[in-house]
Amino acid sequence: MQNFTLHTHNSELNFDGKNTASEMIEKAQTLGFQTIGVSNHMIVNEILNFPPTVEPMFHNDFSKATQCYLKHIEILENLKSKFKISIKIGFECDFFEDKNWRNSFEKMLKQLPIDYLIGSNHFIRNDDESYILNIYHLKKFNPKLTQEQIDHYTINYYKSTASLIRSGYFSFIAHLDYCTIFNLGEDSRFDSYKIAIMDALKETKTPLELNTSGFDRINRPHPDPKYLKYLENSVPLVISDDAHSTDNLGRHFEKAEELLKSYNYTNRFTLEMLKKPL
C-alpha cells in the first residue's frame, strides 16, 4: 500500500482546504503515512480579475502571488521540526501555453524553493487563452456561452492538458479528465483529444495520478480506469486523495490499490521521482 500522499490542500492564506497545514500533517502522521506533500493551488494569470472576496486564491499579479507562496513555504518549513512525518512542499499548478505567461511563470518558479509541482487543468479556454474559465464557474456564474463555444473550449482544455504534460515542469499530472464531473467532453467527438493526452504521457513518460476524489463524486477515480488499459504500464501511477480536509486523507486508497491490481498496473510512482520544476 502506498505510504505517502502528495496531493493535499490546507486553509492558510485563503487556500481552499478546510483544515490548517498543521492539522493535515498531524492527521497524515496519525494515519501512518511516512510522507505528506502539501500542494495548494497555484493559479496565476493576469486576466483573472475577480474581487478578492470572490476567488481569493486566484492571482492576477505574479509578484503578489510569489509573496503569498513564499509565505506559505515559510509556514511549512516552520512545521517540519514539529513532526516526525516527512513534509514535501509542492503546488498544484494550472498551466497556460501563452508565451508571456510562461516567461512570468518561470521567473516566479526561480524564486520558490519547492520540491515539486503537480500539473493540473481546471480551465476551459479559447484558442489564444484571452478567455479562460474555471470549470466550476460554468455552474457558479452561468456565463453566456453557446454550446458550440463550450465544446470548442473543452477541446482546448484537452489540447492544453497535452501541452501541460509536454512542458516538463511537473512531477505528475492531476485528475486528467476532471471536466467529466460537469459532463464536459463526454461524447466520442472528444476521444481523439483524449488519446492525444495518453500519447503525450506515454512519449514523455510523465507520471500520472489516480485521483480518488472521483469515487465520492462520480463513482470512479480520475482518470476513467479505461485509460489505464491504454497506458499499458508505460507511466508511473501515484494514488492521490486530493484531500481538502483531514477526513479526506487516504480516502479510498485501498480501493485504488485493488483497482490497479485488477488492471495489472504495476508501474508505480516513488518519492525519488519528485522533481524540482526547473
9: nearest Cα among 266, 221, 246, 244? 244
Stretch that binds Zn ion, among 51-59, 67-75, 88-96, 103-111 (CB under 5 A): 88-96
Residue type (1 letter), 147? Q
| Apex 181 CA angle, 40 and 262, nearest 5 | 90
The region of 59-67, 157-165, 183-191, 238-246 touching Zn ion under the rule CB under 5 A is 238-246
Q: Is 242 in the site for Zn ion (CB under 5 A)?
A: yes
Residues 117-146 that bind Zn ion (CB under 5 A): 120
Q: Which residues pair with 89 in a beta bridge?
A: 38
Asked whether 268 and 237 are in contact (CB, 8 A), the reply is yes
As a whole number of angstroms, the distance between CA 98 and CA 127 comes to: 10
In angstroms, what is the minimal distance from the CB of 39 to Zn ion? 7
- CB nearer Zn ion, residue 90 or residue 201: 90
Residue 26 or residue 242: which is nearer to Zn ion going by CB? 242
Task: State the Cα–Cα distance between residues 213 and 262, nearest whole angstrom.
Answer: 19
Q: Could you tell me the smallest distance in angstroms from the CB atom of residue 9 to Zn ion?
A: 6
Residue 149 or residue 163: which is nearer to Zn ion going by CB?
Answer: 163
Give dist(CA 43, CA 95) in Å, integer: 8
Closest C-alpha to 101, from 59, 50, 40: 59
Residue (26 or 209) nearer to Zn ion, CB = 209
Q: Does 209 contact Zn ion by CB under 5 A?
A: no
Which string of x and - marks every residue 103-122 that binds Zn ion (by CB under 5 A)? -----------------x--
Q: What is the 3-state secondary structure (H, E, C) of 75-99?
A: HHHHHHCCCCCEEEEEEEEECCCCH
Nearer to Zn ion, 5 or 120 (CB): 120
Residue with the shortest CB distance to Zn ion? 242
Residue 193, all three cell numbers: 483529444
Total site size for Zn ion, rule CB under 5 A: 3
Q: State in angstroms the smallest separation of the CB of 24 from Zn ion.
A: 13
Asked if 94 interacts with Zn ion (CB under 5 A), we say no
Query: Between residues 43 and 187, which has the closer beta carbon with respect to Zn ion?
Result: 43
Is-contact 31 250, C-beta < 8 A? yes
Compute the least distance from the CB of residue 85 to Zn ion, in Å. 20
Which residues, in sequence order, are bridge partners of residue 239?
210
Site residues (vs Zn ion, CB under 5 A):
92, 120, 242
